[in-house]
Amino acid sequence: MSSTLPIGPRSPSVVQMLRWIRRPIPMLEDCRTRYGDTFTIRFPAMPPMVLFSDPAAVKEIFTASPDALRAGEANAILEPFLGTNSLLLMDGQRHKRERKLLMPPFHGERMRLYGDVMRTLADDAIDSWPLGRPFPIHPEMQRITLEVILRTVFGLDEGPQLTRLRDLLTEAAALITDHPLLMVEFFQRDFGRLTAWGRAMRLREEADRILFAEFARRRSASTAGRDDILSMLLEARDEHGQPMSDIELRDEMMTLLIAGHETTATTLAWLLHRVLANPSVLDGLRDEVQHVGHGEPIASERLGELTLLDATIKETMRTMPIIPMVGRAVHTPTAIGDIELPVGVVAAPCIYLTHHRTDIWGDPQAFRPERFLETKPGPYEFFPFGGGTRHCIGAAFASYEMKIVMSQILTRLELRAAPGYRARVIRRGIAFAPSAGMPVVVERRAA
């Protein structure tokens, strides 16, 4: 049993962080070539992170006691963005209780209620796209997924509040994207509107005012007949019969928004990228959508018949998992394989590297959706939504939304990638996104 951390890059932690921000995939691949399946990377003012990409090790981490390996503690860097009462930042009993409270609307019948809203919002966006000239599709996907969350999670209807909140959130997301160093505590200093952090704080104050007013308005009105997630949380009571406070509600709503909007939009942008770059996959998808829908929108209960689309979404998330790794802070010394991890380090299953192992995937760079039709990979070989007790609560919601948006695009549009475009991976906040917003050209649109 080794008690020292696995080796990794020896460059100063600032250099490692800058490399991570600028060229994350080459950095990961380089480390794997040099150091193997397990290595340690270091960023300033953060605990050392030990990355794992062997499925046996990933399984040990995801099935370890959540008290010994803590996701909430490992996600502490997100606290200034989400607030202290975010599910992502909780551990132990509190996490278990809160997760139980948030889960129901993300499954089964309740989730299917949101299908019509998703389809209408996708159609509205599709109607607004220009014909015959390149435009970036990633911001369009963000527009759809943000709107889906504002309607289904927040239950906001058209009006000045929705418009203002949408503007504030779009501006805040752009700030974080343009200033990735805002993720680092040192740069989170409020020197007024001239600094990015100062601007972020002003946006947050205004968004809070709108949200708190909305909570008050909803508390005084009946929630009967409403199926949005905010209405459900307003009714929820803890074991002492107490409702959630404004701050608790705000933190959970922002968590669902931040965790659910950019992630789904960016995966959709990569999905289009992969499909447009692989004409045989595009043809297969068109045939499938035509076969199931006969040119009409595909009803929610028939989405399950789109098996090639399901496999294509999975293959996109395998080749381009937009969140490249997840973390667990070591709270009690824990052995993973023959490595003894001490308190104060983070164990990080690396999604990207596990998804690119030749022993599991053969030729991992090849885009082959059929892989997912031929075999079903295990949860420690393919885990774009993380794993164990922290597996993404929005996984089914996101997959459902991606199928609806993509099947509408395939049914109504003929489109291609913009001429000469070559996607580079850039970082947006914590996600890997395609460069230049992934420009496309729409050639034909059906009503």
Cβ-based nearer residue to ligand HEM, 183 or 323: 323
Contacts of 93 (CB under 8 A, 6+ apart): none
* Least gap, CB of 232 to ligand HEM (angstroms): 13
Phi, psi of 39 (to 5 degrees): -155, 165
Q: For residue 104, how many other CB atoms are within 10 A of its CB? A: 13
Cβ-based nearer residue to ligand HEM, 122 or 441: 122
Q: Is 168 in the site for ligand HEM (CB under 6 A)?
A: no
CA–CA dist 201, 61 (Å, integer)? 36
Candidates 24-32, 114-122, 157-165, 386-394; binding stretch for ligand HEM (CB under 6 A): 386-394
Specify whether the CB–CB gap between 275 and 281 falls below 8 A. yes
Candidates 183-191, 284-292, 387-395, 415-423; binding stretch for ligand HEM (CB under 6 A): 387-395
Phi, psi of 38 (to 5 degrees): -130, 130
Q: Is 255 in the site for ligand HEM (CB under 6 A)?
A: yes
Interface with ligand HEM (CB under 6 A), residue from 392, 405, 406, 442: 392
List Cα–Cα distances, 72 to 75, 204, 331, 334, in angstroms. 5, 22, 11, 17
Window 75-134: residues binding ligand HEM (CB under 6 A): 87-88, 99
- In the stretch 268-307, what mask flags binding to ligand HEM with x, by CB under 6 A? ----------------------------------------
What are the beta bridge partners of residue 441? 416
Q: Residues 398-413, buried b or exposed e (16+ Cβ, 10 A)? A: bbbbbbbbbbbbbbbb
Candidates 124-132, 135-143, 392-400, 404-412; binding stretch for ligand HEM (CB under 6 A): 392-400
67: tokens are: 């008290």
Phi, psi of 421 (to 5 degrees): -75, 130
* Least gap, CB of 15 to ligand HEM (angstroms): 26
* Least gap, CB of 261 to ligand HEM (angstroms): 7
Interface with ligand HEM (CB under 6 A), residue from 114, 197, 385, 421: 385
251: tokens are: 């933190």
* Strands 346-349 and 49-52, bridge-based pairing: parallel
The total number of residues shown for the chain amounts to: 447
SS3 5: coil
- In the stretch 311-350, what mask flags binding to ligand HEM with x, by CB under 6 A? -----------xx--x------------------------
Interface with ligand HEM (CB under 6 A), residue from 28, 49, 259, 281: 259
Residues that bind ligand HEM (CB under 6 A): 71, 87-88, 99, 255-256, 259-260, 263-264, 267, 322-323, 326, 384-387, 390-394, 397-398
